[in-house]
Amino acid sequence: MTTSAASGSDPGGPGVSPVDTVALLHPDVARWVWEQGWTELRSAQTEAFAPILTGDTDVIISAATASGKTEAAYLPICSALATTAPLPGISVLYVSPLKALINDQFDRLDRLCEHLEIPIHRWHGDVPGAQKAKLLNDPSGMLLITPESLEALFVLRGARIGALLGGLRYVVLDELHSFMGTERGAQLQSLVHRVELAVRRPVPRIALSATLGDMRLAAEFLRPGAGEAVRLIVADDDGGHVRLQVRGYRTTPPRLGGPSLQAALEAGDEVTSEDTADGNELAIAGHLFETLRGSDNLIFANTRSEVEIFADLLTRRSEKAKVPNEFFAHHGSLSKEFREDVETRLKDRTRPVNAVCTATLEMGIDIGDVRSIAQIGAPPSVATTRQRLGRSGRRGDPAVLRCYISEPEVSSKTSPPDALRAELVQTVAMVNLLLERWYEPPATGELHLSTLVQQLLSLIAQHGGVRPAEAYSALCGNGPFGNVSSAQFADLLRALGAGEVIAQDSAGLLLLDVRGEQIVNHYSFYAAFSTPQEWRLMSGGRQLGTLPVSDRQPLRPGSLMIFAGRRWRIVGVDPGPRVVDLVAAPGGRPPRFQGSGALVHDRVRQEMLAVYRDGSVPAYLDTTAAELLTEGRRHFAFYGLDDRAVIDDGLESYFFPWAGDRVLYTIAAAVTAKGLEVSVAGLALAVVGADAVEISALFGELARRPAPDPAVLAQAVANKIVEKYDELLPDELLAAGYSARTFDCPGAWKVLRDFA
Amino acid sequence: MSGDSGTSPPVPSPYPQGMIRPRDRDAIVQSLRAGVVPRLGHQHIQVGRALEVKALLRDVDRVADGGSSVRFIIGEYGSGKTFFLQLVRSIALERKLVTLNADLSPDRRLQASGGQARSLYTELAHNFATRAKPDGGALASVVERFVSTTLAEATERGVEPAVVIAERLGSLSELVGGYDFAAVIGAYWRGHDIGDDGLQSDAIRWLRGEFSTKTDARLALGVRTIVDDANWYDHLKLLARFVRMAGFSGVLVCLDELVNLYKLAHTQSRNGNYEQILRIVNDSLQGSVAGLGFVLGGTPDFLLDTRRGLYSYPALQSRLAENTFAAGDLVDYDGPVIRLANLTPDDFYILLTRLRHVYASGDPAAYLLPDEALSAFMNHCAKRVGDAYFRTPRTTIKEFINLLAVLEQNPGVTWDGLIERVEIAPEANPDLLPLPGAGEQPPGRDDDDLSSFRL
């Protein structure tokens, strides 16, 4: 009734009184708003009313947590539903990354919808079958669902999906920022696109997101190819407060180490983790225990072994203090039963629980809100840190993040990156960017081939067979996998056919073959991401340790890598059991800090440079951290890095391009191809046996030549299988997908040319 | 409908003759234009396949004699399976059989646990057709006819109707699930007797498989079972015996689009459905059911694919293997599988003459196209899509009827200019076409090589 009046000019702005905007809503919704006793609506809320009510445009509402984004979307949506009689089928599809969030939204919306007599349903793994059957019998109203359950609907009820969603008027995507640039995000884009294909018309997409630096990226993600038409509503009022602390620690040796540990073991003494853990680890565990016990928190560490150490230390502290243990490890190497037990504990909100977990399992941990986030070691990226922060500080509490950084004592044996306190400075840079609301943009050139395989199989199951050209048009040509050419798609089909994943009938229809049926019929098919396995690093039959699962460094036989404070040459890489064979390689002192796994973005390294040049000490550092930062700056000046990029350090030279990991890996691959011994040493490249002059000459020569084809650089890389269905891809596509993720040839060549 | 089909198979004469009734003409033209098989007047456009029709005629006769039969009609997409099935169905109706027909789909299967098999039964019961009601919906009138024949027999023998009913229901009760079936027919009779329309319609609803819970059925009719995924085939057998009591010769079940079973991605459900087909084949070949025939339409892949087709099920492969002697020019139309030969260009030419004839309501003076235009049309189609135009005639026929429609409504237009403009596109899944206005393909995209892509 008021929708036509609402299509005028921008009604937003802080001066709008609630009366004007609420008048846009259906009287029943407006009455409900008054009944809630809300005296004023925030600007994001009021601004979103008109475009959503009109229902002819996509909208992104971005605001801090707990600033009423949900109401901004649901008041006008419910109003639109109440105003016009619904068509048969679901009217609103709400897709959320977390089951816990769905349950939360369900409780909030239930009261409003009950008032308006709009049926509301939820659908995820924990919803009983009877409720699902009820919805299938009478599809109507709102459906709250996870991407995986939506995928399952397509696969298992593909023929009915058009009827089920026949009345669709809005697709709401919650926590949009958490999907961007991930496999799950590509899956979500594809699912939403397939929903539109099934109902045969475009449906307005309403996204709720945290505020990002460049909202256009989110718009382009929401509607690939037409992001400029998306209406952006960015709330100024900062609803949520963030409280940050970066705590610094100096590494100290364990109580028992080397000979004394040997002696204790020979004497038959009981040796616990408390005896073998470094002193700084004990101190961090002590602080975690004191501050986090008694509430729900997530503690992130960058490797599984760190997770094990801290979970064990915290459990022992609980035993010693004679209090129930609230700290549980959760990572991909644990058995399923054990993980499920932790997940059950996390869901049970009556007892406080702290999960100590790795980055890659974030997706799997379905827990709504926690009191705070603890991060041991430098965070992998600004984006994941923001997402993690988003899990704390709901319901009006401030979001809390504590980072625990350890740095070694500087001696004559310390390598330049460690002396620069790279880990601490990277953390400071990331926190600065977080406060600036900068966010790693989702990679744009990515092919997402693994997810494309999943979507192709799902499309075949949905329709009971598709023709190749139709599949290409639905998924790539007009769909979200637009970076994939039809020639690449044909290669993909051929490889899947050769692997007995798909087959073709005499009419040209693609069908699932034996292997494809096994994949699709297993419940694990619905998730686009998988739990990656760790690579084990072996030397002479002895295990040195494991690489962090998120570590994307290219492993090439013959090239150098740094691990556990030593430099190694890769002798062999076996992707089957995921084993890397190493022999010790000569060279100087490699740095201890090797990054936290995930690829560090160019912008982060540039911010690190700015931190070194800046003189001020951020307020969020504790005393030790502030000292460590000052030390780092002193060494930065000592090496003269302000005005030179290469420094000699004994046997080797370090090149500091102040660029991201993709650039470093690209240059390393190109230099290795020239026969030099080079390894990526955290934020720098370490070249063995070449001094600054030789390096300058080499880079100059490389820079004069055109940038190479990244897929050629990727050919020799042995660990290209990263995502869930990568193993089904043909070699050339695997290399293309891998290089799109890991290498940046234009960026690297720009660095080389600037240097030369 | 021409009366000759009652005595001899409708073997077509090479050239069409005779007037066409307006009702048949409109039904044929409208259906073909929509790309679906007409329900009436098949004999006017049937071309070739005389031996196949004869074989099916023998099946119909066997079912009418209280026997059983099963035939798989196997042909490529669009080769006219559905048309053939409808033709057989119309012959069966002439022979006083009841016909039940349905297309299989992901939601309508032979075996399921989520109601898809019951949904198939409901569809079959919905399309319950007799000669008087060829379009379906005849279940109620058959039950009514059962009651009236019972009354007639009671009067004839001079006994109470209840006695005859009891005898007849007793014979139904012998079959699996027959006790409740008989009880429901009894309820219908009671409703008839005391004038309770509600009871009667509940009984019909139960027979149609429209009760979804046992509780509802118990409250309405006092029976403890309903038609469900597990027992729907037993109910078909019961229906077969029941319609014979009501004075019909038997039941012919026409199931089309069996390729949907082949396309099922779930291995266990596909095998479950094949197991159900095995039951049907066994029952028919062993003659253990009376007055029940099946005609099943599917593609060669559905039959022959040893990975996921019927041949992937060893017990079916041995039963359905084609006669190895019937190769080359030798034929065998007595096996359970009938391969529909593709139409030849000559057949197709005759088909076009028949369509022209039907369109003109059987009046040669009103033909809209001369003979040479038919050849020109075929040549044009051959240029556009190659051999596919007569192998899979659905879209070609549709375009031909469209052409006739334009010629009829624009008297000044000549055919030779129009034929060049006929567009024949390969068939496509409508749900996967790009949305209108959503991102036109950038020019020069080479996805043409995908339209003919082979693994």
Task: Using alpha carbons, list the distances in angstroms from residue B36 to B29, B33, B39, B73, B395.
Answer: 10, 8, 9, 18, 10
- A44-53, B139-148, B326-335: lowest mean pLDDT where? B326-335
Among B293, B323, B339, which residue terminates a domain? B339
Same domain, residue pair B15 and B91: yes
**B267, B433, B441 ranked by CB distance to A521: nearest:** B267
**Of A339 and A693, the one with more pLDDT:** A693
Q: Beginning with the edge strand found earlier in the chain, give each strand of the sheet holding A677-681 in spatial order.
A: A646-649, A652-655, A684-688, A677-681
pLDDT of the residue at A282: 92
Read off the pLDDT of residues A434-455 as tens digits, 9 standing for 90 and up: 888 888 887 767 889 999 999 9
Instruction: Give the residue range(s) of CATH 1.10.10.10 domains in chain A.
Output: 449-526
| Nearest alpha carbon to residue B135 among B124, B127, B145, B143 | B127
Average pLDDT score, chain A: 85
Same domain? B22 vs B114: yes
pLDDT of residue A67: 62
Residues 13-52, chain A, touching B (beta carbon < 8 A): none
Lowest mean pLDDT among A130-134, A489-493, B218-222: A130-134
Q: List chain A residues with CB under 8 Å of B439.
A: 225-226, 478
Distance CA B125, CA B143 (A): 13
Checking if the pLDDT of B394 tops 70, the result is yes
- CB contacts of A196 in chain B (<8 Å) are 435, 438
Burial class (CB in 10 A: 0-12, 13-18, 19+), A119: middle
Cα–Cα dist B2/B199, whole Å? 40
Which candidate from B106, B264, B445 shows the least CB-CB separation from A486?
B445
Residue ranges, CATH 3.40.50.300, chain A: 3-234, 242-256+274-407
**Which CATH architecture is the domain A3-234 placed in?**
3-Layer(aba) Sandwich (3.40)
List alpha helices for B1-98, DSSP H: 22-33, 42-45, 50-64, 81-94
- Write down the pLDDT at residue B421: 78
The first and second tokens of residue A404, run together, are 């625990």
Cross-chain Cβ contact B432/A511 below 8 Å: no
Q: Tally the domains of chain B.
A: 3
Q: Which CATH number fits domain A449-526: 2.40.50.140, 3.40.50.11540, 1.10.10.10, 3.40.50.920?
A: 1.10.10.10
Contact assignment for B265 to A514 by CB distance below 8 Å = no
Residue A556 in tokens: 């090439």
Q: Is the pLDDT of residue A618 over 50?
A: yes
pLDDT beyond 70 at A727: yes
Asked whether the beta carbons of residue B441 and residue A477 sit closer than 8 angstroms, the reply is yes
Mean pLDDT to the nearest integer, A708-725: 84
pLDDT of residue A663: 93
pLDDT per residue as tens digits for the range B138-161: 999 999 999 999 999 999 999 988
Same domain, B170 and B280: no
pLDDT of the residue at A64: 67
pLDDT given at position A590: 74
- What pLDDT sits at residue A739? 87
A170-219, pLDDT tens digit by residue?
A: 999 998 888 888 889 999 999 999 999 999 999 999 999 877 767 888 89
Q: Could you say which of B188, B221, B254 is where a domain stops?
A: B221
- Same-domain pairing of B276 and B296: yes
Residue A318: what pLDDT?
92
pLDDT tens digits, residue range B97-108?
A: 999 999 998 889
How much is the pLDDT for B166? 87
Measured in whole angstroms, how far is the alpha carbon of residue A78 from the centre of its chain?
A: 32
For residue B51, the enclosing domain spans 3-139+230-339
% residues pLDDT > 70 (chain A): 92
Residues 134-173 of A with CB under 8 A from B: 155, 158-160, 162
pLDDT digits (tens, 9 = 90+) for B414-452: 888 788 777 776 666 777 777 776 554 443 344 457 777
**B94 is a domain residue:** yes
B199 found inside a domain: yes
Whether residue B124 is found in the same domain as residue B237: yes
A405: confidence class by pLDDT, cuts 50, 70, 90: very high
Of A221 and B334, more confident: A221
Given a cut of 60, whether residue A495 has pLDDT beyond it is yes
Mapped to the 3 state alphabet, what secondary structure does B202-239 carry? HHHHHHCCCCCCHHHHHHHHCCCCCCCCCCHHHHHHHH
Place of tokens 């012998």: B174
Mean pLDDT of B320-342: 79
pLDDT tens for A57-75 read 999 998 765 567 778 888 8
pLDDT exceeds 80 at position A9: no
Residue ranges of the alpha helices (H) in B158-299? 161-173, 178-194, 197-207, 214-221, 232-245, 259-262, 267-286
Residues B371 and B265 in one domain: no
Assess whether B131 and B173 both reside in one domain: no
Does A568 have pLDDT greater than 90? no
Higher-confidence position of B203 and A335: B203
Q: B238 and B183: one domain?
A: no
CA distance B449 to B451: 6
Per the prediction, chain B carries an average pLDDT of 85
| Residue B366 predicted with pLDDT over 90 | no
Answer yes or no: is pLDDT of B362 > 70: yes
Give the CATH number of the domain where residue B333 resides: 3.40.50.300
What is the predicted pLDDT for the residue at A597?
Answer: 67
B455: closest CA of chain A, how far (Å):
5
Tell me the pLDDT band of B392, cut-offs 50, 70 and 90: low
pLDDT the model gives residue A16: 46
Chain A, chain B: beta-carbon pairs less than 8 Å apart: 120
How much is the ipTM here? 0.78
How confident is the model over B288-318, as pLDDT tens digits?
A: 888 999 999 999 989 998 888 999 999 999 8
- Among the residue ranges A227-236, A457-466, A548-557, B117-126, the one predicted with the least confidence is A548-557
Band (pLDDT 50/70/90 cuts) for residue B217 is very high
Mutate to test the interface with A, among B268, B391, B455 (most CBs of A within 10 A): B455
Considering the domain architecture, whether residues B7 and B58 belong to the same structural domain is answered as yes
Give the pLDDT mean for B230-240. Answer: 94
| pLDDT at site B324 | 74
Whether residues B247 and B396 fall in one domain? no
- Same domain assignment for residues B248 and B102: yes
Domain A242-256+274-407 homologous superfamily, CATH: P-loop containing nucleotide triphosphate hydrolases (3.40.50.300)
Residue where a domain stops, chosen among B339, B366, B400: B339
pLDDT for the residue numbered B438: 53
Do B258 and B334 belong to one domain?
yes
**So what's the pLDDT on residue B97?**
95
Q: How confident is the model at residue A396 (pLDDT cuts 50, 70, 90)?
A: low
pLDDT tens-digit readout, A635-661: 999 999 988 889 888 778 899 999 999
